[in-house]
Chains A and B, each alone.
Chain A
Amino acid sequence: MSKIHYSRRNVLKGGVAAVAASTLPAPMIWAQNIKDVVLRQAGTGVSAFNEVAAKVKEDLGFTLEMTALDSDAVTQRAATQPDSYDIADIEYWICKKVWPTGNLQAMDISKIANYDKIAGTFRDGKLTPDSVIAQGTAPHTVGFVEGPGSTTFAAQDSGWMTLIPTIYNADTLGIRPDLISRPIDSWAELLNPEFKGKASILDISSIGIMDMAMVCEAMGEIQYADKGNMTRDEIDKTIGIFMEAKKNGQFRAFWKSFDESVNLMASGEVVIQSMWSPAITAVRAQGVPCVYQPLKEGYRSWGGGIGLSAGLSGLPLDAAYEYINWYLSGWVGGFLMRQGYYSAVPETSKLFMSEDEWGFWYEGKAAAGDIVSPSGTVIEKAGAVRDGGSFLDRMGKVACWNSVMDENQYMVRKWNEFIAA
């Protein structure tokens, strides 16, 4: 499907060049044509910001159309409708599911200018040389393939990437400190009867099961060989514990989209729940106290990146590479860091952040002045420190990654039963 449209008017405007081109058999690409390129990006809501599309138009000249969907819907679209998008903005566990369909194309890292500056987590799995790799679908395990057209993942850096990492974070439980008024330091608290009717968990199976596993392990109920790849028995036990809790009225609701989690927390319906970082920011922006509570068992982490549709070629493909290089060059990184995410290339993002912002979001230092969200609201007063501290403190304590397991289909059926029970 061609994304470049030659109207009669454009051709006439092209004048001499157009005449020359029409007489030459070889295809010609004009630099100004890139302005006519429209790239359609489908992705999860986490990084679909209109500001990014506007900046693309300003900096690169072409049009980026963004569609934000929930994780399941993105997976579905990436796997079944490859013609409906040019760029897939997805998480690594989604990549593990979608890559075997052959709907995405491998990317040549020699075309990625800042490849060497991408955080180690995405290249060899190690944040620092002595880091231990966490359980689950760690990004580097599905980050490379042997070459173009390959549908199997490569064990190490092969020069061909599946997704170019763009965004990631360490997730934990969100709490309302004003309504709990005692310290919370373990995942096990999610099922503490003290919070009966005031807890919530997210209804996205691949992520929810990991939160459940963190809770069951923290309670001492189950010891997993690998949380990211459970056996049927482990899945049964995990879901069983949560079914029991659901029956006893532990949960107020389940949430599926970002805004639902914000509303549950801000309205006080729920005091402890699975949450995503910008949701915490959104609750605080309403003047409601909310903490992204670091827990002693560590974080459940996730990473997202940009993949290219297999159908992309020619000028739009060049535009897509240009977009990726622009993505890693810092402006978007700074924008995302101000939302509480991390950029895959932290050092370029630093150029687009003030020293105070960098200190607060990345280094875990106390804010010198007010910290303002990208939309302009003050979210932290001077003196505030980020929950969980610095980048190395947070990303260094990752206990597991969002995962797709070998027993995924079984897990999904069990998950559906948990929701329907």
Chain B
Amino acid sequence: MRRANLNSWLLAAPLTGVLVVFLVLPILLIVAVSFWSSNEFSFYPDFQFGNYEYLFGSSVAWKVFGLTFMMTAIVWALTLVIGFTIAFFLAFHVRTQKWQMVLFLLTTIPFWTSNIIRMISWIPLLGKNGLVNQTLIGAGIINEPIQWLLYSSFSVCLAFVHLYTLFMVVPIFNTMMRIDKSLIEAARDGGANGFQILTNVIIPLSKPGIMIGSIFVIALVMSDFVTTRFMSGSQLANVGRLISNDIGLLQYPSAAATAVVLLVTVLLMIGAMLRLVDIRKEL
């Protein structure tokens, strides 16, 4: 018994070691630096709350956090609806497993190119003289190019949804494939219509997949800074950009404080979600 105990400790040790060195220590360091002071070109150990005071006292920071939450909520809702629909189609409407796999791989093809390329390629499409505006003007639907297609919250949202929907599709598809088909037959035999099967059988059983996808999307959107910068033409800011601006200007302690606040908010959100669904039990 004791020996077995020791063995399991030893087996867990390498992973624990890696996590402590590469995850826990860096995070502790960020927390520590967030209390440091800085001047224009250097930062030095200190223990003061100035960075947090500035962050919580700045109306701009509040606005930016607000915008980040709003963007996250919108993107989460859209990717969920789109991702769920695609996964549902693949799992229940495509009959043969071969075609299921072919179509599933098809949805991943855009992800073979880099994130940035997929994002930037929207720009020639959405610009004032882009394909969309030219087509609409050519068809006589509009006279003036639509401005809000690019460098707006619309374009940021569009790029996010395009970039991250797959992170919803994969886990939801995975859990749906494991739903026992006899449950659906039983529901039908019991007189349930298609909609009732969806809400009473499929959605409850897909919850773990939905949760995993949601965690991916929320974490990715909350921590993004590149997409927001490029798709808004630098005009919108999210928390990630606050951090990257600070780093660019050598204000590491202030960046660390913002990062700590962001980390805590994301952890709280994910913690709340995990309370709703016990992923481990359901997997």
Report the Cα distance A101→B249, complex, angstroms: 15
- Check: A252 CB closer than 8 A to any chain B CB: yes
Which residues in B have their C-beta under 8 angstroms from that of A267? 124, 127-129
Output the residue of B41, B42, B64, B237 with the most chain A CB within 10 A.
Answer: B41
Which residues in A have their C-beta under 8 angstroms from that of B237? 419-420
Shortest distance in angstroms between A418's beta carbon and chain B's nearest beta carbon?
9
Chain B 123-153 interface residues, beta-carbon cutoff 8 Å to A: 123-124, 127-129, 147, 150-151
Task: Report 29 cross-chain contacts, Cβ distance below 8 Å, ordered by A residue.
Answer: A70-B248, A72-B248, A75-B250, A76-B247, A80-B250, A97-B40, A98-B41, A100-B41, A203-B234, A253-B233, A254-B233, A254-B234, A255-B233, A255-B234, A256-B234, A263-B123, A264-B233, A267-B127, A267-B129, A269-B150, A408-B40, A409-B39, A412-B249, A412-B251, A416-B249, A419-B237, A420-B60, A420-B241, A421-B60
- A205, A253, A416: which contacts B235 (Cβ < 8 A)? A253
Shortest distance in angstroms between B45's beta carbon and chain A's nearest beta carbon?
15
State the interface size on chain B (CB cutoff 8 A): 31
- A72, A76, A246, A253: which contacts B151 (Cβ < 8 A)? A253
Chain B 230-260 interface residues, beta-carbon cutoff 8 Å to A: 232-235, 237, 241-242, 245-251
Which residues in A have their C-beta under 8 angstroms from that of B178? none
Shortest distance in angstroms between B26's beta carbon and chain A's nearest beta carbon?
17
Which residues in B have their C-beta under 8 angstroms from that of A269? 127-128, 150-151
- Check: A276 CB closer than 8 A to any chain B CB: no
- Check: A358 CB closer than 8 A to any chain B CB: no
Report the Cα distance A205→B237, complex, angstroms: 16
Chain B 107-136 interface residues, beta-carbon cutoff 8 Å to A: 123-124, 127-129
Closest to B43 in A: A80
Q: In the complex, are the beta carbons of A254 and B242 less than 8 A apart?
A: no
- Check: A417 CB closer than 8 A to any chain B CB: yes
- Check: A79 CB closer than 8 A to any chain B CB: yes
Report the Cα distance A227→B142, complex, angstroms: 45
Which residues in B have their C-beta under 8 angstroms from that of A100? 41
Shortest distance in angstroms between B133's beta carbon and chain A's nearest beta carbon?
11
Closest to A72 in B: B248
Chain A 237-269 interface residues, beta-carbon cutoff 8 Å to B: 246, 251-256, 263-264, 267-269
Output the residue of B58, B64, B245, B248 with the most chain A CB within 10 A.
Answer: B248
Tell me if A's interface is mostly helix, strand, loop or mixed: helix
- Check: B188 CB closer than 8 A to any chain A CB: no
- Check: B63 CB closer than 8 A to any chain A CB: yes
Closest to B254 in A: A413
Report the Cα distance A76→B241, complex, angstroms: 17
On A, residues with C-beta under 8 Å from B are 70, 72-73, 75-76, 79-80, 97-98, 100-101, 197, 200, 203, 205, 246, 251-256, 263-264, 267-269, 408-409, 412, 416-417, 419-421
**If A252-B151, A252-B233, A268-B129 touch, does A416 touch B39 (CB 8 Å cutoff)?**
no
Shortest distance in angstroms between A260's beta carbon and chain B's nearest beta carbon?
8
Which residues in A have their C-beta under 8 angstroms from that of B60? 416-417, 420-421
As a 0/1 sequence over residues 29 to 63 of chain B, the CB contacts with chain A under 8 angstroms (1 = contact) are: 00000000001111000000000000000101001
- A73, A263, A416: which contacts B245 (Cβ < 8 A)? A416
Report the Cα distance A346→B129, complex, angstroms: 42
Q: Which 10 residue pairs of A and B lie closest in terms of their CB atoms, listed nearest first?
A: A253-B233, A420-B237, A254-B234, A72-B248, A79-B41, A417-B60, A253-B151, A420-B60, A203-B234, A268-B129
Which residues in B have their C-beta under 8 angstroms from that of A79? 41-42, 250
Q: In the complex, are the beta carbons of B41 and A97 less than 8 A apart?
A: yes
Which residues in A have their C-beta under 8 angstroms from that of B127? 267-269
Report the Cα distance A263→B124, complex, angstroms: 10
Q: In the complex, are the beta carbons of A205 and B42 less than 8 A apart?
A: no
Q: In the complex, are the beta carbons of A417 and B58 less than 8 A apart?
A: yes
**If A268-B128, A420-B242 touch, does A197 touch B147 (CB 8 Å cutoff)?**
yes
Which residues in A have their C-beta under 8 angstroms from that of B40? 97, 408-409
Report the Cα distance A416→B234, complex, angstroms: 11
Q: In the complex, are the beta carbons of A72 and B249 less than 8 A apart?
A: yes
Which residues in B have their C-beta under 8 angstroms from that of A412? 249, 251
Which residues in B have their C-beta under 8 angstroms from that of A421? 60, 63
Report the Cα distance A97→B40, complex, angstroms: 7
Chain B 212-246 interface residues, beta-carbon cutoff 8 Å to A: 229, 232-235, 237, 241-242, 245-246
Shortest distance in angstroms between A414's beta carbon and chain B's nearest beta carbon?
10
Q: In the complex, are the beta carbons of A419 and B234 less than 8 A apart?
A: yes
Q: In the complex, are the beta carbons of B250 and A246 less than 8 A apart?
A: no
Shortest distance in angstroms between A34's beta carbon and chain B's nearest beta carbon?
33
Q: In the complex, are the beta carbons of A416 and B242 less than 8 A apart?
A: yes
Which residues in B have their C-beta under 8 angstroms from that of A73? 248
Closest to A204 in B: B248
Report the Cα distance A129→B33, complex, angstroms: 51
Output the residue of B124, B246, B249 with the most chain A CB within 10 A.
Answer: B249
Q: A80-B250, A409-B39, A419-B237 are in contact. List 10 more A-B contacts (CB 8 A).
A: A72-B248, A98-B41, A203-B234, A254-B235, A256-B229, A268-B128, A408-B40, A409-B40, A416-B246, A420-B241
Which residues in B have their C-beta under 8 angstroms from that of A263? 123
